[in-house]
């Protein structure tokens, strides 16, 4: 039987084999310090973001109870099943920019009586408010996730925010709790996280940091903790490198907040006007995307240093509640819907970002990728009854073994991935030990051309077996479509060999690998 060339290539990638004529693989050295445990990895680093934007909510999560698409109370069953596999810890909603024009009372009560509005930020489409507070919290319950609700500061009022929290979380004989009961929910919900506004430096009001700090203090005063529910309050933080914003917020409102947000998007070109194609790119743009992704490490270091000045005990968490790749919209789509495909490049970006968050777990307490479905760097793409899981989805599924595990420090010396005069580390790594004692090591190879041998020393760990999975593909541009939904998916990995305290890993080019040591 003749084996297709593409199958031979993929087999070589997955096994870490050198192709004929290739130079010897570069090597990295890694020490896994299981004798020096680090902090517990907050599961909320693997959080999601679902905004009323494009088809993230309508068509992505919500189809309505009358839909022929199988659903539970209007929420897609296939989406529920896929997200449960990710162990999604927390979902941020309703925005984003949409949050500061959203008035929650428009989204409660009989759906046929809810007033419509125009979504002025995202495509100018009619928002019928069919998916509101009850539907969102039902969705969180169905997938086993905590709720992270963003209140309207830009166009809302303190009273509106105060009443929304009462409506959701109070069990008192009070106007808002009784309104909730009248709308069919007797018991209050548990709502753990609340954001006070979104991007108040921009679409949330174009405020100065000192002004927003005062607004946060005012809103925070009236957003109450009701019996049985304690809120984790997140202040609206910086856009990328705006360190002055972080300084002003920590100086003027730091003692009132539990978390401070940070937003950072990876742009392949670095140009907001021309961000580049999600699927039509060369190695230059592959490299630039990964280089700009790794810039987030500098942001985390510098924002954390400012926070340390005012909060040396690290009580306030850094919450990266918008991150991911942002490309030009899919040709032919509504540009306001921010629809884009998701390739092997995005899988590498996801792995790098999750490693950064995990390696800063002493300060970073939550992260929310933008966005969950059909928008930007999505987990899932839908089209009517069809669904496809993206390469990014698979990275989140592979990495969920790190959730709530204890970080294991790694000491890594990586060769460089060089393109022209620029270079980045070729290998990224992170490790953890779960409650059952299993150690998981995740690795990313940013080099799209060369496999890399990783020589790993196990310190404080006696392992008898190593197993793993790998996510890779023959091309940088490989992606899943409705016609070919399994082009990029995890495979069993046999490129790791254990010899006493030494572990040798043949890490394929452009790959994400997760190993289990027992």
Contact assessment for residue 79 and residue 140, using Cβ atoms and an 8 Å cutoff: no
Contact assessment for residue 246 and residue 307, using Cβ atoms and an 8 Å cutoff: yes
Angle separating helix axes 296-310 and 344-359, nearest 10 degrees = 20
* Max CA separation in the chain (angstroms): 77
Please state, as a whole number, how many other Cβ atoms lie within 10 Å of the Cβ of residue 166.
21
Q: Which are the catalytic amino acids?
A: 199, 322
Give the integer Cα–Cα distance in Å for 290 and 444.
Answer: 11
Give the integer Cα–Cα distance in Å for 189 and 133.
Answer: 10
Give the integer Cα–Cα distance in Å for 257 and 361.
Answer: 18
Among 324, 337, 327, smallest CA distance to 280 is for 327
Contact assessment for residue 199 and residue 236, using Cβ atoms and an 8 Å cutoff: yes
DSSP track, 117-174: EEETTTTTEEE---S-HHHHHHHHHHHT-EEEEEE--SS--HHHHHHHHHHHH--SSS
Please give the backbone phi and psi of residue 383, each rounded to the nearest 5 degrees, phi first: -150, 100
Please state, as a whole number, how many other Cβ atoms lie within 10 Å of the Cβ of residue 346.
26
Residue 84 tokens read as 């449960």
């Amino acid at each position: 039987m003749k084996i297709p060339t593409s199958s031979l290539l993929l087999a070589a990638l997955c096994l870490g084999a050198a192709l004929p004529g290739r130079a010897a693989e570069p090597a990295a050295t890694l020490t896994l310090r299981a004798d020096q445990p680090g902090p517990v990895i907050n599961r909320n680093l693997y959080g999601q973001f679902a905004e009323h934007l494009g088809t993230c909510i309508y068509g992505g999560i919500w189809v309505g109870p009358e839909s022929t698409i199988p659903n539970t109370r209007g929420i897609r069953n296939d989406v529920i099943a896929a997200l449960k596999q990710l162990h999604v810890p927390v979902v941020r909603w309703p925005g984003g920019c949409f949050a500061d024009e959203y008035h929650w009372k428009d989204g409660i009560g009989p759906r046929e009586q809810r007033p419509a509005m125009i979504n002025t930020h995202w495509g100018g489409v009619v928002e019928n408010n069919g998916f509101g507070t009850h539907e969102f919290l039902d969705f969180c319950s169905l997938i086993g996730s905590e709720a992270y609700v963003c209140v309207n500061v830009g166009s809302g009022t303190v009273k509106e925010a105060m009443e929304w929290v009462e409506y959701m979380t109070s069990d008192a004989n009070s106007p808002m709790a009784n309104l909730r009961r009248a709308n069919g929910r007797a018991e209050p919900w548990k709502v753990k996280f609340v954001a006070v506004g979104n991007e108040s430096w921009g679409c949330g009001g174009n405020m100065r940091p000192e002004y927003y700090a005062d607004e946060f203090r005012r809103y925070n005063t009236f957003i109450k903790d009701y019996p049985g529910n304690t809120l984790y309050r997140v202040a609206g933080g910086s856009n990328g490198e705006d360190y002055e914003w972080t300084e002003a917020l920590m100086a003027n409102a730091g003692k009132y907040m539990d978390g401070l947000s940070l937003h950072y998007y990876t742009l392949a070109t670095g140009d907001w006007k021309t961000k580049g194609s999600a699927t039509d790119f060369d190695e230059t743009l592959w490299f630039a995307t990964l280089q700009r992704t790794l810039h987030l490490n500098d942001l985390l270091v510098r924002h954390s240093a400012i926070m340390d000045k005012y909060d040396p005990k690290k009580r306030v968490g850094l919450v990266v509640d918008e991150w991911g790749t942002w490309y030009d919209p899919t040709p032919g789509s509504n540009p306001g819907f921010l629809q884009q495909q998701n390739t092997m490049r995005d899988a590498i970006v996801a792995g790098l970002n999750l490693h950064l968050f995990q390696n800063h777990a002493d300060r970073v307490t939550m992260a929310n990728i933008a966005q969950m479905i059909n928008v930007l760097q999505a987990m899932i793409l839908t089209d009517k009854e069809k669904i496809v899981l993206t390469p990014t989805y698979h990275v989140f599924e592979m990495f969920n073994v790190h959730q709530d595990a204890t970080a294991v420090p790694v000491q890594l010396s990586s060769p460089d991935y060089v393109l022209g005069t620029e270079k980045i580390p070729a290998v990224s790594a992170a490790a953890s030990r779960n409650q059952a004692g299993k150690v998981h090591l995740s690795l990313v190879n940013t080099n799209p051309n060369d496999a890399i041998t990783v020589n790993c020393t196990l310190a404080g760990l006696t392992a008898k077996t190593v197993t793993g999975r790998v996510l890779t593909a023959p091309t940088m541009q490989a992606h899943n479509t409705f016609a070919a939904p399994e082009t990029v998916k995890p495979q069993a990995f046999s490129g790791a060999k254990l010899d006493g305290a030494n572990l040798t890993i043949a890490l394929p080019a452009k790959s994400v690998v997760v190993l289990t040591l027992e």
